[in-house]
Chains A and B, each alone.
Chain A
Amino acid sequence: MRNMKFRSMILYFVIFAFFAGLGYYIFEFAQNSKNWAFSPVNRHLSSDSLSGGKIFDIKGEILAQTINGKRMYHESSDVRNAVLHTVGDGSTLIPTSVQSRYNAELFGYNFITGFGAPEYFSSNQDVTLTLDSKICASVSKKFGNKKGTAVAYNYKTGEVICMVSLPTYDVNDRPDFTKDSDGKYDGVYLNRALSAAYTPGSVFKIFTTMVGIKCLPDAETRKYECKKIKIIDGEKVTCMQSHGKLDLKTAFSKSCDMAFCDIAVELGKEKMTSELEKFGFNSLQTFEGIELAKSTYDVNSASKAGLGWSGIGQYTDTLNPMYMLKIMGALANGGNLIEPFVVKSIAVSGTNDNQKFTNTSERNIISKIIADKMKEMMRFTMKNQYNDSLFGGIRMCAKTGTAEVGENKLPHGWMVGFSYDESFPIAFVVVVENGDFGIKSAGPIAGAMIKDIRNDFVKNK
């Protein structure tokens, strides 16, 4: 019998296997229970026993609510399409959406009571956004069938007024993405403003200019020479045309590539990298706690010509639209950034028990001298290069970009900028994927968006 004691130890293998599995399950439950509960197959989310909080836009339009147990979205399909990435679709497929991030508040979910807390304790809360859904809808439609993103925010208060991402879909009529063979819905769950990083093209010259002004004493006064083509160590760097000799301001407004190629090459890899990293390249940036796609500047293995191209926003540079919006806001505001945000308040339904999110704290990220110089250069560019009529006469500062993406595809078009007058404090970023020249593709969308915001702004005054 004695050896039975030893032999029965074999049971511990089974017992140990159980505890290992149980531990793993508890770990997974703790990590993922919220994602599991908000999976698209959950019938509790559409049951009449579960009520969900409302989502309002800044004007009080109801973007999402639960009526008779059914989650209902805005009655206009244009609005539903435009705010999809901010509002969400009731599942956790769009993790950056408010319905995913605040699902616990909206649906009264927590891992202890699940959806089971009795009504007495349940605390569905309403979320109010800073978005203007009507403006979002009209901007979103302007993209046609192009992909991309457009964001605009008030650089004095931080409120994001417009944020759209394309492609999008109607939550009430979700297409079958598995049958999408031509890539029409590629990355449809991404909010491109937050979760995409694009080749920046010429909008990157804003950074190169700021680094140049800071590090080269004669950067603004010297003349840069452009003969359309320049050979550096046997490799070509090209410009759109032969600009001749020009100063930095003119080079910036005409978007002459040679000047910025020269600055990058002259400063060298290490200086360029260290200065750009001070702006926030290569490091984690956030928006309301959401990690943004990283904006990168990496010239470690670049040739000299590659380094030159990196100063023009090509090579391997990438830029995240929301991060760029923050830079625009800071430039407009004398180098001080007021962080943008989209959730204005969260309140228990039908009460004034408000949890307000406002943002008045400023953070200096660019020195005032450089920011002001940059502001003037961008104003000069707007006035002389693009014409104020694009924005209906509003005095704006702007820069376009046309980012070559290769593969015989049209370049990505960028337009970034902000209002010159602080009485109408708006900064914006527009990216149109494969949209052709920035002024041609992103320009009209930016123009329409700013005009819409301006009209609304005037009406409210």
Chain B
Amino acid sequence: MKTMFSLFLYSIQIILPFMAILIAYCCFRALFRSLKPMHPLIVLLNRATGEKMPIMYWENSVGRDKHCDIVLNLPSVSRDHAVLYRRREGWFIADTNSKMGISVNGEKIENDEKVFIGDVINIGGVKLEICRADVLKLKNKGSGDNDYDYDTYSGGGLLTLITVFQMLSTLSVCFSSGDLDYKPVILSGIMLLFEWLVFIVTKYGFGRDNFEIEAIAMFLSGIGVINLCGVDINDAFTQLIAMAIGIIIFEVIVLIIKHADFSMKLRPYVAFFALTLLAANLIFGKVKNGSQNWIMIGGYSVQPSEFVKVAFIFLGASTLKGIQTTKNLTWFILFSAACMGALFLMGDFGTALIFLVTFILIAFMRSGSIRTVVLTCATAALGAAFIFNFKPYIVTRFSAWRHVWEHLNDIGYQQTRVLTYSASGGLLGLGIGKGYLKYIFAAPSDLVFGMLCEEWGTVLGIIVLLMIVFLAIYVRQAGIRSRSAFYTISSCCAAGMMTFQMIMNVFGVTDILPLTGVTLPFISLGGSSLVSVWALMAFIKASDERTYSRE
């Protein structure tokens, strides 16, 4: 009987990675299938030449520059003359500091002007008439909002798969000590109820059909919560609460950034909020594990830098009009320098590096200037050399890199344990809660990839990583379809930030890169980190064209 039961538990161990593959496949199949070929939304007819110019995007730059979406190659047209963009209310034309200005139906405009089918826009002497897309005589389905008849998986189907996965893994963790422990069942039950509640509210309350992003995030953070059940049930509860807060914040951000132009106006407040947080951190911060990046709020330790990450992306993103009218990044560079400076003062070099890479992503997405990227890297390298010169002890922290087996009990302690126990788990794992890595310092947070490999198996560990990196591949594919450059930039940078953080974490603990104490998105123990990663997911959600289609 006991043998039969242990065989049953082991069969869960084999089923879980296969289910994870299935869930990942279904989620990403649905996401990638939603990326149908693009069709013109409207057509601009050049009155003088009779040329028909299809308008493909929600935001379109107009100008003489060959990089513009609509190129008007006349000397009277400025390089970046105007932006023609679409909002829920209709189409708008905005002058982006042009020399000659714009007139609509013969009237010179000052601010953004709403335009209609049949209107004639004069841009630097070029008269463009706005026409319906069907003047191109294409079979065109792209003009309406309600044409998402994709045969994608229903969100309910995805969540059912995830429910089965979470129930099976809960069962596994319940019996990890040999006897039944019912507490994980309660916890997992609450989690499942909450997940279904969110699904019902977004589907029937908000009328959203797309649920893949939430499903992926729920699947991953669910693994994190259940993983913690095997370590400390109280930590698991805290993590579950953080997950719930994260989901709520996710929905709030999705609502706030619904209007890209409104979001642009929020930027000074967000910047003020972020800098206040960092200042509070520097003044009231507690030193924990060598870096002073914690503040205590009502008995809970909170990591402000995690929330600044979200603000950072929010501030870096911009609508196309915003990019065309503010050519320099001075304010954002100053803000970034303040963030990174504060992180260095706190001794949190890992997060500082994440900010740096995200800064490069944002700067390049906004300017397209390779020079900016090279300059940033050079400045960062100089800065790093300067700091290491004055604080040489930082270098010694990294000196175990690629030599961890020679430092079994000092600076290679964590890495060697991760490798040892990852290998002990093999491809299929020992069973959730049955590992030894969890007893090592910081295992549930920084070393959690090792825990996944030991207890859930290396196959599942790698699937988790692949799901995060596939999010990055997806947002890159989906990018230009989104309703504003604001979403394109913020989603790409959020996914890039998460992927880079994952690289730092996973390859740091496995001694492929030097070890820096950053968390693995979704999985690591840490409320601030989990809330922040859910907040980042809101940018990805917003970039999905379907998200705001039925509201």
Interface of A with B (CB < 8 Å)? 1-12, 14-15, 17-19, 21-22, 24-26, 28-29, 32-37, 39-44, 47, 49, 109-120
A117 near B469 with CB under 8 A, answer no
Q: In the bound complex, what is the Cα–Cα distance between A291 and B6 (angstroms)?
A: 41
Quote the shortest CB–CB distance from A391 to chain B (angstroms): 46
Q: Known contacts A11-B361, A22-B465, A37-B420; decide if A2 and B499 are in contact (CB<8 Å).
A: no
A8 near B426 with CB under 8 A, answer no
A115 near B427 with CB under 8 A, answer no
Instruction: Confirm or deny: B336 has a beta carbon within 8 angstroms of a beta carbon on chain A.
Output: no
Note all chain B residues with C-beta closer than 8 A to A17: 500, 503
Note all chain B residues with C-beta closer than 8 A to A43: 436, 439
Quote the shortest CB–CB distance from A172 to chain B (angstroms): 20
Note all chain A residues with C-beta closer than 8 A to B13: 116
Q: In the bound complex, what is the Cα–Cα distance between A9 and B473 (angstroms)?
A: 10
Q: Known contacts A21-B503, A40-B408, A44-B436; decide if A115 and B424 are in contact (CB<8 Å).
A: yes
A8 near B488 with CB under 8 A, answer yes
Note all chain A residues with C-beta closer than 8 A to B60: 1
Instruction: Confirm or deny: B502 has a beta carbon within 8 angstroms of a beta carbon on chain A.
Output: yes
A118 near B424 with CB under 8 A, answer no
* A–B complex contacts, Cβ < 8 Å, 28 sampled: A1-B58, A1-B59, A1-B320, A3-B368, A4-B485, A5-B479, A10-B364, A10-B365, A14-B361, A15-B469, A15-B473, A18-B503, A21-B503, A28-B510, A28-B512, A29-B422, A32-B419, A33-B422, A33-B423, A34-B423, A42-B421, A44-B436, A111-B423, A112-B426, A113-B427, A116-B13, A116-B428, A116-B431
Q: Which chain A residue lies CB-closest to B426?
A: A114
Note all chain A residues with C-beta closer than 8 A to B506: 21, 25
Note all chain B residues with C-beta closer than 8 A to A32: 419, 423
Q: In the bound complex, what is the Cα–Cα distance between A32 and B428 (angstroms)?
A: 17
A114 near B408 with CB under 8 A, answer no
Instruction: Confirm or deny: B69 has a beta carbon within 8 angstroms of a beta carbon on chain A.
Output: yes
Note all chain A residues with C-beta closer than 8 A to B9: 118
Note all chain A residues with C-beta closer than 8 A to B3: 118-120
Quote the shortest CB–CB distance from B222 to chain A (angstroms): 22
A4 near B426 with CB under 8 A, answer no
Residue from the set B13, B56, B408, B421 with the largest chain A CB neighbour count within 10 Å: B421
Q: In the bound complex, what is the Cα–Cα distance between A233 and B431 (angstroms)?
A: 75
| Contact digits for B1-42, partner A, Cβ 8 Å, 1 yes 0 no | 001001101100100000000000000000000000000000
Note all chain A residues with C-beta closer than 8 A to B69: 1-2
Q: Known contacts A41-B408, A115-B426; decide if A1 and B480 are in contact (CB<8 Å).
A: yes
Q: Indicate which residue in A2, A21, A33, A47 contacts B436 across the interface (CB closer than 8 Å).
A: A47
A4 near B469 with CB under 8 A, answer no
Note all chain B residues with C-beta closer than 8 A to A9: 476
Q: Which chain B residue lies CB-closest to A26?
A: B462
A42 near B424 with CB under 8 A, answer yes
| Residues of B318-371 whose CB lies within 8 A of A | 320, 357, 360-361, 364-365, 368
Note all chain A residues with C-beta closer than 8 A to B517: none
Q: In the bound complex, what is the Cα–Cα distance between A281 and B518 (angstroms)?
A: 54
Quote the shortest CB–CB distance from A95 to chain B (angstroms): 13
B499 near A18 with CB under 8 A, answer yes
| Residues of B445-460 whose CB lies within 8 A of A | 454, 457-458
| Residues of B374-410 whose CB lies within 8 A of A | 405, 408
Instruction: Confirm or deny: B425 has a beta carbon within 8 angstroms of a beta carbon on chain A.
Output: yes
Q: Which chain A residue lies CB-closest to B481?
A: A1
B430 near A115 with CB under 8 A, answer yes
Note all chain B residues with C-beta closer than 8 A to A110: 426
Q: Known contacts A2-B480, A8-B492, A14-B496; decide if A112 and B428 are in contact (CB<8 Å).
A: yes
A21 near B512 with CB under 8 A, answer yes
Q: In the bound complex, what is the Cα–Cα distance between A319 and B227 (angstroms)?
A: 55
Instruction: Confirm or deny: B153 has a beta carbon within 8 angstroms of a beta carbon on chain A.
Output: no
Residue from the set B357, B457, B462, B476 with the largest chain A CB neighbour count within 10 Å: B476
| Contact digits for B70-93, partner A, Cβ 8 Å, 1 yes 0 no | 000000000000000000000000
Interface of B with A (CB < 8 Å)? 3, 6-7, 9-10, 13, 56-61, 67, 69, 320, 357, 360-361, 364-365, 368, 373, 405, 408, 416-417, 419-431, 434, 436, 439, 454, 457-458, 462, 465, 469, 472-473, 475-476, 479-480, 485, 488-489, 492, 495-496, 499-500, 502-503, 506-507, 510, 512-513
**8 closest A-B pairs by CB:** A114-B426, A36-B423, A1-B57, A37-B423, A116-B430, A33-B423, A36-B419, A43-B436
Residue from the set B6, B7, B496 with the largest chain A CB neighbour count within 10 Å: B496
Residue from the set B9, B373, B405 with the largest chain A CB neighbour count within 10 Å: B405
B472 near A15 with CB under 8 A, answer yes
Q: Which chain B residue lies CB-closest to A39?
A: B420
Q: Known contacts A37-B424, A111-B423, A120-B7; decide if A11 and B472 are in contact (CB<8 Å).
A: yes
Q: Known contacts A21-B507, A25-B507, A116-B425; decide if A3 and B67 are in contact (CB<8 Å).
A: yes
Q: Known contacts A2-B57, A9-B476, A15-B469; decide if A25 and B423 are in contact (CB<8 Å).
A: no
18 further A-B contacts with Cβ under 8 Å, apart from A18-B503, A22-B462, A42-B436, are A1-B59, A1-B61, A2-B480, A4-B479, A11-B499, A14-B472, A15-B473, A18-B465, A21-B507, A22-B465, A25-B512, A33-B423, A37-B424, A41-B408, A44-B424, A115-B426, A116-B428, A120-B6
B6 near A14 with CB under 8 A, answer no
Q: Which chain B residue lies CB-closest to A2?
A: B69
Quote the shortest CB–CB distance from B44 to chain A (angstroms): 15
Q: Indicate which residue in B422, B431, B476 contacts A12 across the interface (CB closer than 8 Å).
A: B476
Quote the shortest CB–CB distance from A106 to chain B (angstroms): 15
Q: In the bound complex, what is the Cα–Cα distance between A435 and B13 (angstroms)?
A: 58
Quote the shortest CB–CB distance from B509 to chain A (angstroms): 10
Quote the shortest CB–CB distance from A118 to chain B (angstroms): 4
Q: In the bound complex, what is the Cα–Cα distance between A435 and B421 (angstroms)?
A: 44
Q: In the bound complex, what is the Cα–Cα distance between A28 and B507 (angstroms)?
A: 12
